[in-house]
Amino acid sequence: MTPPRTTQRTPLRIGNASGFYGDRFDAMREMLTGGELDVLTGDYLAELTMLILGRDRLKDPSAGYARTFLRQIEECLGLAHERSVKIVTNAGGLNPAGLADAVRQVADRLGIPVRVAHVEGDDLSAAHPGSLAAHAYLGGFGIATCLREGADIVVTGRVTDAALVTGPAAAHFGWEPGEYDRLAGAVVAGHVLECGTQATGGNYAFFNRGAVDVRRPGFPLAEIHADGSCVITKHPGTGGLVDVGTVTAQLLYETGSARYAGPDVTARLDTVRLTGDGPDRVRVDGVRGEAPPPTLKVGLNRLGGFRNEVVFVLTGLDIEDKAALVREQMSAALAKSPPADIRWELVRTDRADADTEETASALLRLVVRDPEQQAVGRALSGAAIELALASYPGFHVLAPPGKGAPYGVFEDVYVPHGAVDHVAVFYDGRRIPVAPARGTLVLEEVAEPPLPEPPPPGPTRRAPLGLIAGARSGDKGGNANVGVWARTDEAWRWLAHELTVDRFRQLIPECRELPVTRHVLPNLRALNFTVEGILGDGVAAQHRFDPQAKALGEWLRSRHLDIPEALL
């Protein structure tokens, strides 16, 4: 019998217990025991995770899901059942049906009566031969259908991270497709929650300001209201902090323009309002939504070839000459059968008259890639090892080079909504198709809003940008974003005029030859920069020293500018 559908008005308390595959194992128990919750979500998927799960499935066709979640459920299923907390997770990865069955087996063994449903339809690998995994980013209405039909646990594959929140909110409040403002508000809440403790003081630019203990930040939760507004908070007594700055930082993470597109709705980030609502509470409202774009994003993961590296340690005097010598020697050896891609990077970690050998040393990193393993395996390792007694004084390496390991390539393509068979699969075997979006709107850039009046002229001092601005950066395939925000209205007036695309390129020389786009978000006192191609073929390809651009924002904050003394 189908449970009657109800439209709730009370706030829905949704918590998060995982921001990635490998996050804090005991977070699920902490969230279930730390305070009141209605729904607990877990985000286990990222572009790199899909590649890892794809390789797991090649070895074992029954694999392909996040096994950590299954161990957490075995420990915490009784708690969730006692507290009537529903669990929604994308830990199903490439095999949501397999994980749903595994959860049922755990529940049966423990004697806990729970109804487990899952969502299918994201797997488009058959339509993309040659890919290790090809998965569409589904929206939240498959999750909502499962919950409306009485599921206690919903397992999905590749959905948008925010869908873990929009689905439960739509089920709880009775939202339907087309209620764009409400759905957009839930998307913003979901984006804040999806990376776990990044919203509660983790990885926060101003972690050392004030007396807040961020050594073990608690996981976030959102109190979502029927109009789509919410309050971001955390359980009482947990570490870290929730304030306008931590929420702003996470809002800017891995986003681009003011239009944040998804399968159910496009959320307008330029309409988001953040206001303090008491200790560790931030109210999020004013979010406007628009129809989603006419296509769904599909993430393609494939093996790109093989990669190997060796790091030479150069100690003491004549660092540049030592580096030049070993480069000449290795280049001559590799010339016999050169790999397709050879990259050198000299990292000057050394300092003069150092009192330890380690701080007297620099690192010379050699990375090679090729479609064939043989070209990066013995050819590299043999050449490096043969130099052990025949190169620069003090020759040694951080670790012997190996045989070469496969690396992945991520790219995205787009398909019409109707190309995906989005299905909710219930604990009793029923299958209910989930209709595609009713209306769509071609995605266009938002016109740049008016900038604030520039500050009056006055004395300046050369200082790091990070003294007055926060930043957070991340990856989307081969692109990176850097969100920069000011903490005061006065700093925003200066930042909006000073940090142009040209200035950004001057401060981050790696971007000088790449397309860079600036997006202005006045409500957040923020600028969001998108840098195309800086990460090559994506994180799995390890194109650069920081392959996910996690620290790109911190590098920017460390660069010096002429900053008005009034702001310092």
169 falls within a domain: yes
Q: Are residues 321 and 206 in the same domain?
A: no
Q: Are residues 232 and 164 in the same domain?
A: yes
334 falls within a domain: yes
Helix H, strand E, coil C: the string for 479-493 is EEEEEEEECCHHHHH
Cβ contacts of 541 within 8 Å, gap of 6 or more: 304, 307, 369, 407, 408, 409, 410, 535, 547
Q: Are residues 360 and 314 in the same domain?
A: yes
Q: Are residues 402 and 509 in the same domain?
A: no
Cα dihedral 545, 548, 554, 555 sign: positive
534 falls within a domain: yes
Q: How many domains does the chain have?
A: 3
Question: What pLDDT is stored for residue 7 in this prediction?
Answer: 54
State the CATH number of the domain containing residue 379.
3.30.70.360
Q: Are residues 217 and 332 in the same domain?
A: no
Q: What's the pLDDT tens digit per position in 63-80?
A: 999 999 999 999 999 999
87 falls within a domain: yes
Q: Are residues 105 and 206 in the same domain?
A: yes
Q: Are residues 156 and 222 in the same domain?
A: yes
Write down the residue that tokens 């081969």 correspond to. Answer: 478
Q: Which helix (H) or strand (E) covers residue 40, if one does? A: strand 39-42
Q: Which domain holds residue 82?
A: 12-243+259-274+288-299+412-433
Q: Residue 560 forms beta bridges with which residues?
A: 464
Q: Rounded to two decimals, what is the model's pTM?
A: 0.94
223 falls within a domain: yes
Instruction: Give dist(CA 224, CA 222) in Å, integer.
Output: 6
CA distances from 76 to 79, 201, 427 (A): 5, 26, 20
Q: Which helix (H) or strand (E) covers residue 56, if one does? A: helix 47-59
At residue 545, the 3 state secondary structure works out as coil
Q: Are residues 397 and 483 in the same domain?
A: no
pLDDT band for position 5 (50/70/90)? very low
Q: Residue 369 forms beta bridges with which residues?
A: 307, 341
| Beta-strand pair 133-136/39-42 | unpaired
Max CA-CA distance within the chain?
79
447 falls within a domain: no
What is the CB-side half-sphere exposure of residue 445 using CA atoms within 13 A? 8
Q: Are residues 294 and 424 in the same domain?
A: yes
Percent residues over pLDDT 90 in the chain: 88
CA distances from 138 to 69, 162, 298 (A): 21, 10, 9
451 falls within a domain: no
Instruction: Give dist(CA 434, CA 152) in Å, integer.
Output: 19
Q: What's the pLDDT tens digit per position in 124-165?
A: 999 999 889 999 999 999 999 999 999 999 999 999 999 999
Q: Are residues 203 and 324 in the same domain?
A: no
Q: Are residues 184 and 37 in the same domain?
A: yes
188 falls within a domain: yes
At residue 58, the 3 state secondary structure works out as helix
Q: What's the pLDDT tens digit per position in 441-498?
A: 999 999 999 999 999 999 999 999 999 999 999 998 899 999 999 999 999 999 999 9
Out of 24-33, 279-288, 374-383, which region has the weakest mean confidence (pLDDT)? Answer: 374-383
Q: Are residues 267 and 216 in the same domain?
A: yes
Q: What's the pLDDT tens digit per position in 371-411?
A: 999 999 988 999 999 999 999 999 999 998 889 999 888 98
